């Protein structure tokens, strides 16, 4: 048994879509969420810079006593996961897998759409995954430019979101995609908008965060790291931005917490 928190890190609010799945699956676990905020968005920054930012963030979570780290950011995972696992070798670190595998297994049309940040799509991790699972499948990738900014501004259900998202979703559907993978943890906040645009086209939206929570559960069990079954979880939020941003993280988390 181990009542230390699980550290969850993202460039900003997006990682809360993973945080909520952790709450659902592991209600007794304490969670320490670090939403960078100061350097968000990461999506178009150079790989080395993202790696540096991820190191700072994970270093902070480790210093605060986390027993396991979830890099709840596809972009940071793509840029830094190998580096982080080598540097913090004694700690289990879970990253975001681009959910290309389930999408390729489920597609009937043979076309899979992937929405992610620029840096995720041009990374080695994505190339490897796409090559491994997408052999007989056409993978249409489009960077969700402006998506992260919409979510960070609480505009995910606005006409502006609809206008930004529509052309990309329509392009994917036009090219025959019947699966749309959400390859950035901010994008599940736009799910309702994406679903509205895709309605009637038989498109399945693929969000990898429940699978990430299941992977965390597995690693907790493997390392005998679970909190006591009667533990009262502590939910904390920290940021590299200011107090207003920290309160925003907390409010947004409370709004998506399945246990509230
Ligand atoms: N939430 C992030 C991801 O999963 C980062 C987005 C960004 O900061 O550009 O990729």
Give catalytic status of residue 40 as yes or no.
no
pLDDT for 135 = 86
pLDDT digits (tens, 9 = 90+) for 186-202: 999 999 999 999 999 99
Phi-psi bin for 224: left (phi > 0), alpha (psi -120 to 50), beta? left
CATH of the domain at 240: 3.40.50.1860
Q: Closest ligand 1 atom, CA of 73? A: 4
Closest alpha carbon to 247 in 35, 41, 7, 101: 35
- Establish if 57 belongs to a structural domain: yes
Same domain, 21 and 57: yes
Instruction: For residue 110, give the 3-state DSSP assignment.
Output: coil
Domain that includes residue 247, residue range:
6-96+209-256
User: Which tops the pLDDT comparison, 125 or 151?
Assistant: 151
Q: Yes or no: say if 79 and 148 are a contact pair by the CB < 8 Å rule.
A: no
- Establish if 23 belongs to a structural domain: yes
- Establish if 156 belongs to a structural domain: yes
Average pLDDT of the chain? 96
- Establish if 126 belongs to a structural domain: yes
**How much is the pTM?**
0.97
pLDDT digits (tens, 9 = 90+) for 158-177: 999 999 999 999 999 999 99
Same domain, 83 and 111: no
pLDDT digits (tens, 9 = 90+) for 31-47: 999 999 999 999 989 99
Same domain, 28 and 153: no
Closest alpha carbon to 175 in 143, 208, 140: 140
CB of 148 closer than 6 angstroms to any ligand 1 atom: yes
The encoded tokens of residue 75 equal 């972009």
Q: Distance from first CA to last CA of the chain, Å, rounded?
A: 25
Percent of the chain with pLDDT over 90: 94
Give catalytic status of residue 184 as yes or no.
yes
Average pLDDT rounded to a whole number, residues 209-229: 97
Residue that has been written with the tokens 């590299």 in this structure: 240
Cα(207)–Cα(46) distance, integer angstroms: 26
Distance 230 CA to ligand 1 centre (A): 34
Same domain, 40 and 118: no
Closest alpha carbon to 29 in 177, 231, 219: 231
Q: Closest ligand 1 atom, CA of 43? A: 9
CB of 117 closer than 6 angstroms to any ligand 1 atom: yes
Distance 228 CA to ligand 1 centre (A): 32
Percent of the chain with pLDDT over 70: 100
Number of domains in the chain: 2
- Establish if 252 belongs to a structural domain: yes
CB of 8 closer than 6 angstroms to any ligand 1 atom: no
- Establish if 1 belongs to a structural domain: no
Shortest-distance Cα residue to atom 2 of ligand 1: 73
Q: Closest ligand 1 atom, CA of 41? A: 8
Cα(94)–Cα(18) distance, integer angstroms: 11
Q: Yes or no: say if 204 and 106 are a contact pair by the CB < 8 Å rule.
A: yes
User: Which tops the pLDDT comparison, 197 or 135?
Assistant: 197
pLDDT digits (tens, 9 = 90+) for 61-118: 999 999 999 999 999 999 999 999 999 999 999 999 889 999 999 999 999 999 999 9
- Establish if 133 belongs to a structural domain: yes
Same domain, 127 and 144: yes
Residue that has been written with the tokens 């480790």 in this structure: 62
Kindly state the DSSP code that residue 32 receives in the 8-state scheme: E
């Amino acid at each position: 048994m181990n009542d230390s928190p699980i550290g969850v890190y993202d460039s900003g609010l997006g990682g809360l879509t993973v945080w909520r799945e952790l709450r659902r699956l592991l209600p007794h676990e304490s969670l320490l969420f670090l939403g960078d905020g100061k350097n968000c968005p990461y999506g178009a920054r150079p790989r080395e810079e993202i790696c540096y930012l991820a190191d700072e963030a994970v270093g902070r979570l480790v210093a605060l006593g986390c027993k396991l780290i979830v890099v709840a950011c596809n972009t940071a995972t793509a840029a830094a996961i190998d580096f982080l696992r080598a540097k913090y070798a004694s700690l289990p670190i879970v990253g975001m897998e681009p959910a290309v595998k389930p999408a390729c297994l489920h597609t009937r049309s043979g076309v899979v759409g992937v929405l992610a940040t620029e840096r995720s799509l041009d990374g080695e991790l994505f190339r490897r995954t796409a090559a491994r699972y997408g052999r007989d499948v056409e993978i249409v990738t489009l960077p969700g430019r402006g998506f992260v900014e919409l979510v960070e501004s609480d505009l995910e259900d606005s006409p502006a979101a609809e206008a930004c998202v529509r052309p990309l979703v329509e392009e994917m559907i036009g090219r025959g995609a019947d699966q749309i993978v959400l390859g950035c943890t901010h994008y599940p906040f736009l799910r309702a908008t994406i679903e509205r645009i895709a309605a009637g086209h038989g498109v399945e939206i693929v969000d990898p965060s429940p699978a990430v929570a299941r992977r965390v559960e597995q690693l907790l069990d493997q390392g005998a790291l679970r909190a006591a079954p009667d533990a009262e979880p502590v939910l904390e939020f920290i940021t590299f931005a200011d107090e207003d941003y920290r309160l925003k993280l907390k409010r947004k988390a409370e709004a998506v917490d399945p246990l509230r």
